[in-house]
Amino acid sequence: MGSTNTVKIDMEQLFKDFDINKSGTIDSLEIAQYMKQHYPQYPIQIISLLISLVDKNHNNLIDKEEFKQFYKIVQASISEIEIKQIIYAAVSHASGSTLISSEMVSQVLNCLEVIDAPSQLSQQSYNKDEFINELDKYM
């Protein structure tokens, strides 16, 4: 077997790099500081969205298991340039589907603090183009 050019990421070390105060969990400020330095294309609202996608127990702290998912989402969306494409890549990776449910669209709009978002969306699910078109209405 030949060698590959992929870089193996040491998730334990990466978690420690994010965990500035060495508490064993990562809070949103620690994530924001690291992301601003290493991934400046992510606005704070998108970082908040990513946190909400992985914070399964809703304690606003990311543990090591949640962090693995967080970083997979970052990696899945890092090649995108436009914000809406980043959001789609992140959300589709987090949900494990190219179709985004209306509940997830609502969660995205809520995280992005869209004030005039509808309480009921017109579709049950959205493909990539439909999802981006829906975001276009509010961003």
In the chain, domain spans: 11-136
pLDDT exceeds cutoff 70 at 8? no
Residue 113 reports pLDDT greater than 90: no
pLDDT at 91: 93
| Vertex 79 angle, CA 77 and 81, to 5° | 90
Longest CA–CA span in the chain (Å) reads 55
Average pLDDT over residues 23-51: 89
pTM of the model: 0.75
Tell me the CATH class for 11-136: mainly alpha
- CB of 80 closer than 8 Å to CB of 93: no
pLDDT, average across residues 92-97:
91
Comparing C-alpha atoms, which of 82, 88, 58, 52 is closest to residue 70? 52
**pLDDT per residue over 39-75, tens digit each?**
887 888 888 888 888 998 888 899 999 999 999 988 8
- CA-closest candidate to residue 43, choices 138, 112, 115: 112
Q: Does residue 7 or residue 20 have the better pLDDT?
A: 20
pLDDT at 102 over 60: yes
Cβ contact 67:30 at 8 Å = no
Q: What does the alpha-carbon distance between residue 31 and residue 22 come to, in Å, rounded to a whole number?
A: 13
**Other residues' Cβ atoms within 10 Å of the Cβ of residue 93:** 18
> What is the token pair recorded at 25?
């969990």
Distance CA 118, CA 98 (A): 22
